[in-house]
Amino acid sequence: MDATRLKPVDVVVIGGGWAGSIMAKEMTEAGQKVVMLERGPDRSTAVEGAYPGSIDELEGNYRYRLFQDLSKSTVTIRNNMRQRALPYRRMAAFLPGEGVGGAGLHWSGVHFRMPPDDLILRSKVIERYGKSFIPEGMNLQDYGVTYDELEPFFDRAEKVFGTSGEPYMINGQVVGKGNVFSPSRSQPFPLPALKDVHTAHLFRKAATEAGFHPYSMPAANASAQYTNPYGAQMGPCNFCGYCSGYACYMYSKASPNVNILPVLRRDPLFELRTHAHVLRVEMDSTKTRATGVTYVDREGRTWTQPAELVIISAFQFHNVRLMLLSGIGKPYDPVANEGVVGRNFVYQNVTTSFVWLNRNIETEQFIGTGGGGVAFDDFNSENFDHGPLGFVGGSPVWVNQAGVKAIAAAQAGGPPGTPRWGSAWKKGLVDTYRHSLRIDAHGANMAYRDVFLDLDPTWKDAYGLPLLRMTFDWKDNDIRMNRYVVDRIGEVARAMDARQVQLTRREFGVPFDTRKYQTTHLGGGAVMGTDPATSALNRYLQAWDVPNVFVIGANAFPQGTGYNPTGMVAALAYWSAYHIRQTYLKNPGPLVSL
């Protein structure tokens, strides 16, 4: 099919989520003419978030109103290289977004800074435990950027998102009751921490009694009215419980749609094109320079948008797939252990445990906010001695009561051993919904040589292009980490005077199950780093081989982390944009010379 060639622009941005919106804002501020291509529909809080129609659990969480249209494109998944990967035909394990705002419209709002040690994890592990501590086959790497370098950009993202939280240390001085393991900040959070819901309050008390160090989770759910540096306004969160899967009708949860796009849409340098599905980045004959992108519109017409600079900022695995489809970077070959695009694909290692309290305590699980809660980091990152434990990685532990709604409660049912239907189920359900709470071990997942992304040999999308193939399974190191941390949850549950406890541990020999929701925190596959042999992007998220392509997203994480990824993705976007503005635009070319 012949593509119609459009008038050239300075920058084309692929994807209208957080990363794309930040990059588009930064590039227009630098005077660049920007076109943003979003394959889904336009979305706004005034329409998708309008109360009360927006808070429909069936449509939001079970018919996936704001999520990727799998009928057009999905991935295939297998547990290991000996298997044939099969299509992910129904939404379940992870829920990528689609439409303006991307996953940033339906996310919860948990907004962390990356722990400093996680950014230099390979160096840190070798320094503390020696190189032999790293298990065979684990591709442990540093990011190539430090916390001190990223700090101004974490701060910028928090100010744009209107993040609520309690600081611990500012400029080296202890100032508050925040997370004692968190690094020093240059500024306080823009807003004070959200209130503790009842279950978080009980967890804070019990975690303290158990000897841990609980803190208020940083949340991009506004604890008060707020106006961000762009002039975008947020209202105070009312704990309605409809964050994850919904546009926030209170304008309290940060989203590209509320916090950035209202300003961008008025900018004459910015143009948003929706229903624009990008097929590939176009390359010149040398394969070292991108010339633009080709996309299909809603009517099936194909267009080529020439641009000087191409920013790939869709969801993590779409970014990797676009690189593979466009021939940007060398595809990873796990057998030869060569190539970088698809290498170090990671997930997150989350299990949810349940605690039943005495029946005179109503836990009111319907009250909640997506990013709020109480956590402790005593077993996250390098905050504890891994030496005697023999595993790499860690896990924050938290009560993050985001609002448990009726269908989800019914499907979760009662305590272990309760039937899933019938009168016994009903009894267990009522007891559990009214008197229980949930505690997550939200752990890191490390990168391994035989866990990767490539193109599927069989299945194609609605445009005839190969689906991305995931080869993923849980590994011994990560299972042992989870089991160790979940045992610590048992200590907290004892301090809560629990009536019954279900400690949910990852089990050895049980493969990754695509049928059960776990988390949408996928990462890696086109990682940042300092060595082009082990990273697809340099430390500014610039493609090593194609310097006028930057790839922004959780794809840049060399291994998983215990925290939610959005805060890091936003900080990396601002970090990359800063260096594009300071250096690249003045003198386009590689920002790192070898």
Partner 1 sequence: MSRSHAVPSRRTFMQVMAGASALVATPGVVARGHAASSAPPHAPVFFNDAEWKFLNAACARLIPGDALGPDAVALGVPRFIDLQMDTPYGRGQLWYMHEPFVAGPANLGYQLPHAPCELYRRGIAGANAWCLQHEGSDFANLPAARQDEVLTMMEKGEMAFDDIPSDMFFEQLLSNTMEGAFADPVHGGNIGLKSWTMIGFPGARADFMDWVDQYGVAYPLGSVSISGETA
Among residue numbers 94 through 133, which ones bind partner 1 (CB under 8 A)? Answer: none
Told to judge if 521 belongs to the known catalytic residues of this protein, a careful annotator would answer: yes
Q: How far is the CB of 406 from partner 1 (least distance, A)?
A: 4
Q: Is 53 in the site for partner 1 (CB under 8 A)?
A: yes
Nearer to partner 1, 34 or 234 (CB): 234
Nearer to partner 1, 291 or 418 (CB): 418
Among residue numbers 392 through 451, which ones bind partner 1 (CB under 8 A)? Answer: 405-407, 409-411, 420-423, 426-427, 429-430, 433-434
Residue 571 makes CB contacts below 8 A (sequence gap 6+) with: 113, 114, 150, 153, 154, 156, 157
Residue 238 makes CB contacts below 8 A (sequence gap 6+) with: 250, 252
Q: How far is the CB of 202 from partner 1 (least distance, A)?
A: 8
Q: Look at phi and psi of residue 390 and say left if phi exceeds 0, alpha if psi is from -120 to 50, else beta.
A: left
The catalytic residue among 106, 277, 521, 579 is 521
Nearest to 477 by CA among 440, 496, 449: 449
Number of neighbouring beta carbons within 10 Å of residue 188: 16
Q: How far apart are CA 38 and CA 486, in angstroms?
A: 40
Q: Is 517 in the site for partner 1 (CB under 8 A)?
A: no
Q: Is 514 in the site for partner 1 (CB under 8 A)?
A: yes
Residue 338 makes CB contacts below 8 A (sequence gap 6+) with: 330, 332
Q: How far is the CB of 553 from partner 1 (least distance, A)?
A: 22
Amino acid at 438: R
Q: How many CA atoms lie within 13 A of 17 on its CB side?
A: 29
Among residue numbers 279 through 308, which ones bind partner 1 (CB under 8 A)? Answer: none
Nearer to partner 1, 76 or 344 (CB): 76
Q: How far apart are CA 119 and CA 51, in angstroms?
A: 41
Among residue numbers 466 through 495, which ones bind partner 1 (CB under 8 A)? Answer: none
Piece of 105-113, 322-330, 493-501, 506-514 that binds partner 1 (CB under 8 A): 506-514
Q: Is 89 in the site for partner 1 (CB under 8 A)?
A: yes
Q: How far apart are CA 503 and CA 579, in angstroms?
A: 46
Nearer to partner 1, 84 or 131 (CB): 84
Piece of 103-111, 263-271, 324-332, 359-367 that binds partner 1 (CB under 8 A): 359-367
Sheet containing strand 374-376, edge to edge, reads: 214-216, 374-376, 397-399, 436-443, 349-356, 500-502
Interface residue with partner 1, options 38, 118, 158, 196 (CB under 8 A) = 196
Q: Is 460 in the site for partner 1 (CB under 8 A)?
A: yes
Q: Sign (positive/negative) of CA torsion 104, 552, 71, 75?
A: negative
Nearer to partner 1, 85 or 573 (CB): 85
Q: Is 463 in the site for partner 1 (CB under 8 A)?
A: no
User: Measured in Å, how far apart are the chain's first and last C-alpha atoms?
Assistant: 39
- For residues 52-72, one letter each, b for 16 or more C-beta atoms within 10 angstroms of the residue's C-beta and e for the rest, the string is eebbebeebbeebbbbbebee
Piece of 161-169, 194-202, 306-314, 543-551 that binds partner 1 (CB under 8 A): 194-202
Among residue numbers 246 through 285, which ones bind partner 1 (CB under 8 A)? Answer: 249
Interface residue with partner 1, options 4, 29, 81, 84 (CB under 8 A) = 84
Amino acid at 489: I
Q: How far is the CB of 515 from partner 1 (least distance, A)?
A: 5
Residues catalogued as catalytic: 521
